[in-house]
Amino acid sequence: MSADEKTRLRAEAREKWLWDEAARKRRARREERTDIARRMLRMRMTWEDIAKATGLAETDVERLAAEEGE
């Protein structure tokens, strides 16, 4: 294996790690917003206000409300 090939493989592995890390962070932010939305639902806030505050779509808030039995 040449040095160039090793360098390329390292660069590809690093790029894959960066993509995976970004996906993990996006997933964590989404879960955090979802948790906040659930708390807001328990506070009886409107779906519209929850969507505005969390950045979730109203349809997502509606789905959460159905899951929570609200």
Query: What pLDDT shows up at residue 26?
Result: 97
Query: What residue ranges do the domains of the chain occupy?
Result: 3-68
CB 70 within 8 A of CB 47: no
Query: What pLDDT shows up at residue 70?
Result: 67
Query: What pLDDT shows up at residue 68?
Result: 85
10-residue mean pLDDT series, the chain (70 residues): 86 97 97 96 95 95 89
Torsion angles phi and psi, residue 44, rounded to 5 = 65, 30
Among 1, 67, 69, which Cα is nearest to 34's? 67
Name residues whose C-beta falls within 8 Å of residue 13's C-beta, 6 or more positions apart in sequence.
none
Query: What pLDDT shows up at residue 1?
Result: 66
